[in-house]
Every structure is written in C-alpha cells, then in structure tokens.
Amino acid sequence: MTEAKLEALLQESRAFPPTAEFAAQANAQPSIYTEAAADPLAWWHKQAERLTWHTEPTSTLEWDLPNAKWFGDGMINASVNCVDRHVAAGRGDKVAYHWVSDIEGESRTITYAQLLDMVCKAANAFTQLGVKQGDRVAVYLPMIPETVVTMLALARLGAIHSVVFAGFSADALSSRILDSDCRFVVTADGAMRRGTPSPLKPAVDEALQSCPNVQSVVVVKRTGGDVNWVEGRDNWWDDLMAPQSTEHTPEYFPSEQTLLIMYTSGTTAKPKGIFHTTGGYLTHCITTYHYIFDLKVDTDVLWTAADIGWITGHSYIVYGPLAAGATQVMYEGLPDSGGRDRWWKIIAQYGVSKLYTAPTTIRTLMKWGDDLPAGHDLSSLKLLGTVGEPINPEAWMWYRKNVGHDNCPIVDTWWQTETGGIMATPLPGITATKPGAAMTPFPGISLDVVDNEGQSVGNGEGGYLVATAPWPGMTRGIYGDPERFFATYWARFPGMYFAGDGAKRDDDGDLWLLGRIDDVMNISGHRLSTTEVEHALVGHPMVAEAAVVGASDDTTGQAIVAFVTLKLSAEEASKDQAPLIEELRQHVSHTISPIAKPRQIILTPDLPKTRSGKIMRRLLRDVAEHRTLGDVTTLTDPTVVNMIAGLLETEGAED
C-alpha cells in the first residue's frame, strides 16, 4: 500500500497517526503506558520527584475510600515550587507571563524573578492583614497578573484560596464566601471588557452585606473607576504592597495541606466547594502538563486561553505551568477585544507554540471565518488542545486545518474540577488522534466505561465513565460536606469514582465523551446545574414553577431553555409577556451570572410531571430540541407536552 493510500484511508476513518517528526522529538515514549500500568503508584511517586520537597515523601498513597492521602508524609510549599526554585536555579530572567491586556498595545512581561518579588511582597502584606495557615480567602479578580500573585502568596502562607469567577453575581459570591467562611476577599475595582471598564467592587460590597465575618478586602486598581470605600475594611493593593519587603521565608506544609477550593455546580441548587490539597495536585498538574503539551521548557510559549476563575486556569495557567517553569501568554480580553483576529495577532506576536482552549471558542472563531487565521503567521504553533466539553468533529477538523495547518496534533483532554488535572487525552507523538475523541486514559490513570450494573462495556458500546483507582490530583472532598462527597461520587458504583459523564468505546477501544448524564448543563464549557437556574427563576415574585433544560446549541454546546409557569391573574395573563420574559432573563443573570442567562424562556400554563410529581426534564429537552416525543404515558397530563411544543414553535429563539 502506498503512503498516499494509507493516508487516504486514515483520513476516511478520520484517525491521524502521529507524524514521524513529532514522534522523534516527543517527550513521552510509548513505553510510558506500560511502565505506568505495571506499577501506577511507583510511577506517580517517580513523577512527584519533579517537585521540590522540603521533606521527601516516603509514602505514596493511603486509600480509605473515599479518602485519599498522596505523598502523605512529604512536606512542601506550592509557591516555592512555582517560583523560588526556578529563580534559585538561575532561571530568574525567564519570562513567566507575557500578560496581554484587553486593550490592544498594552502588555506586561513578568519574569520568574519579578514574580517572586511580587509573591513575597503579597505574602508579607497578607500576613500583616492577619491571614494565617488554613484561612479561607475569596479571590474575585479578572485576568491580571495580581490574580496569580494572590493565589501563590496565599499558598505560600498555607492559606486556602477560593477563586470565584469574576463573571459571577454578588449573590453567587456571597454564598461561596459564606459556605467556606472566608475572612478575606481580594478583588479589583473592575475588569476591562472590549475596552470598557466593567465594575467588580460593587458586587463585593453587595455580597459582603450578608458576610459579616469578612474582616479585610484588598482592591487592585485595574480600571481606575470610582469605588465605594469602607474605611477600616478596604485596602488598595498598591498601598499595601508598597512598604513590603521582597524577602519572605516560606514555611513548609504537609502534602495534604488544603491548597484551594473551587466551587462547581452539582445537581442541586447549592454549588459544591471542591477542594484540592498540595502534593498530589501539583504532581498531577506538572506531569500532565509536561507530557500532554509536550513541554519544551526552554523554547515553548504556551497559551491556555481560559479564565483563572475556573479549574482549567488553576491547573494549566497557574500551578502546572509555573511548577514546570514554563513561559506563557496570559490574555485578559475576550476573543474579539480589539477585533476578531485578536487571537491570531497574539499568537503571531508572541510566537505561541501550544494553544489550549474550549470547543465553544473554537466554534466562535470558526464562525468568524477562515480568512482571519489565514491572515496571520501561525507557523509557531506545534500543538493544539481542547477542554471543557465534547468537541464536534467539524470544529476539530477546522481547528486542525485552519489553526494547526494539518501539522499540529490535537489533544482533546477530558477532566473535571474534581479530578484536578487531565484524565483522558491522546499523547502527542504516541497516540493517534480522532476528531472528537479523548482516546485514552493518561498514564497512571484508570478509567472505564460501565453499564448500569457497573460492568465494563465492550468496544462499540456506551455507558458511564468511571475511575477505577485513585489518582494524585483527585479532589479530597466537598468542603464541609463529606456525606455529599460520598453520595455524589462514590455511592453509584461501589469502589469507583462516578464522573457524571456518558462515554463510549469505539471499535478500536478508544474513548469518546458523550456529555453529562445528570442535571448538569455545559454552557460554553461552563458548568451550571438546572436546579441552580430553576432556583433563581422561582426566586422571582411572578414565577410559580420553573423547569430548566440544556438544549443543544451550535456555538455554546448547550444553551439554557427554561419553561416557566407564572402567578398571574387572568387580566395580567392576557398582556404581552415579552418584557416579563426579558426581566426574568435579567433576573437570572443578576442572581447567578450572565453565563446563566436563559437563551429562551417559554411561559406555559403547566409543566409535564410524572404521577409522583417529578418534572419530566427529559421530555422538555426533547421539546426544546424539537425531537419527536418519546413515551409520555407516565405523565399526569400528556397534553401539556404537546402544548409546550406548540408554544416553542410560535415563540422562536431569542438572541
């Protein structure tokens, strides 16, 4: 068979083998899989040597399901691993971040030595404010270097950061502050959005009205707008930092010291405070970063285009890359801040070699046209990554062709806030890639696809994705709620971690992710629960009942469709409801975040329910996606569904 014929066949089956050139210089060798599988614990222990330990661990794993301790007797400081050790090794002049502003032409370059000075000053300043080991600190900041400095300074003190995405509302912020009893908040006056300031401090002021335990607020000046000021509580970042020394002697903490809390949506209205500890999490981040991004630390410029307010930013903008000593681009703006070709300009200007982003963004960039990436020199790119939601083959192929010029492997990485780091992905240079497949578990990770009874499914079959063995980056729990932790992840299949995702193995045994199988929606790669949005809707005085579903959407993956019944008099009911619908959308946006704003709200006199009174979301999803309705015999009133389907036809989608 000629090479061309083989290539054609592979194209047909849409599998892309690693190129010989890539395979020859790749970090990982095929033997890594067998080596890790032969003794996963020994393999992870070896990976932990990538870190600088104050006291080297002798133990690897203590496992008492669902409680894990990794490298339990080791002593470590996360901040030392991310900055000090690189400076000590003579790499202080290496750029840690090329920070690129929302505003074109504005940027900052921060070396590891400068980062160390900033982190030490911040650690001294936070100590002066009273922050101590174990304290929880809420971080509500945009994509600026101070966000990283804050996280590292807190980690340095053994304090726990809870970064709340700056797009969340005051209500969402206060509930997160209260849940983990944060005593300090670090924020900014505002964020820049397409050249316009978008205030943040007012949301903090509003949130803190219900958080009496917060004693100090630190405010970074980003936009320069007027801010309300609470004397004795509020402090300007610059004023606090100015007198501080750039020297700070770190303490060392047990490997299982809690490093961070990250709230994520579950199937109830109350977000879960997923927490991660230090040694295992860092080991997972640095190891996956090294192999999956085929890190060439001296020459690479890597760009994880995500927000630090989500786990992707924590693991692959902050901890993984910094622990590895990498040089990155950190971008503050939106994909179209300053024009729809902004991304391509950034890649060309900084010579970005590895790009990691979400399918939603890829689809958006794709919509904006092939001529935009074609107009810029993207030849520096060597590898592309995607994360956060299933990627449709069309977007994958577009990414490969128009961004990667058919020359960059694509790593489709499956993982979760709970897993801490990447769990399934191709390995560049080793595994073939297929458009839309996460392919295979990362070395040292045990995943399976199981049926309802927890039995492994065969090739060509689908089921639930589970992890069958503990891994270093795994969450150590839900903050303050061990029962919920067990019930959510460890009770469905005995001995296995239940991820909440559907998956299938194709005929070759490769892994494809099929989306959530619970009431969690994935909107533009952001996790939201249906109940959370329903809760916000019924909080509006006019709303009697609400049912929310995630319906497929060409750009955002899923979009929120809400079915709402109102408390209305006959007279009110006869009025034009368009203003009310808009009011409800704004209400959700204000209560949770603009990302939770329903694409569509359908007012309906009734909701379809089972005889036991449960709202039939599956049916509503079918309705919202215009699918033929399945079995409705268990409905109390089957006509309701057809009526809703009728309403949907007539109202059409908004926005």
| Contact footprint for ligand WTA (CB under 6 A) | 264, 310-312, 387-390, 412-417, 438, 499-501, 513, 516, 522, 527
CB of 425 to ligand WTA, least distance (A): 8
CB of 528 to ligand WTA, least distance (A): 10
Nearer CB in complex with ligand WTA: 45/516: 516
Nearer CB in complex with ligand WTA: 222/526: 526
Nearer CB in complex with ligand WTA: 264/337: 264
Distance of alpha carbon 482 from alpha carbon 471, whole angstroms: 19
| E strand residue ranges, 71-179 | 75-76, 95-100, 107-111, 136-140, 160-163
Q: Convert 512-536 to b/e letters by CB count within 10 Å (16 or more is b).
A: bbebbeebbbbbbbbbbbbbbbbbb
Return the ∠ at Cα 254 (arms to 253 and 255), rounded to 5°: 115
CB of 264 to ligand WTA, least distance (A): 5
Cis peptide upstream of residue 66 (ω within 30 degrees of 0)? yes
By the 8 A CB rule, do 545 and 564 touch? Answer: yes
Strand partners, 138: 162, 185
Type and span of the H or E element at 223: none
CB of 106 to ligand WTA, least distance (A): 29
CB of 542 to ligand WTA, least distance (A): 32
CB of 243 to ligand WTA, least distance (A): 39
The interaxial angle of helices 31-38 and 40-48, nearest 10 deg, is 110
CB of 313 to ligand WTA, least distance (A): 10
Type of residue found at 214:
V
Q: Both tokens of residue 445? A: 């990770």
Distances (CA, A) of 543 to 332, 341, 435, 536: 37, 42, 43, 10
By the 8 A CB rule, do 535 and 269 touch? Answer: yes
Q: Both tokens of residue 154? A: 């807190």
CB of 262 to ligand WTA, least distance (A): 8
Distance of alpha carbon 86 from alpha carbon 289, whole angstroms: 17
CB of 284 to ligand WTA, least distance (A): 13
By the 8 A CB rule, do 585 and 577 touch? Answer: no
Nearer CB in complex with ligand WTA: 84/307: 307
Q: Both tokens of residue 519? A: 């009431």
- How many residues make up the chain in this entry? 655
Nearer CB in complex with ligand WTA: 310/398: 310
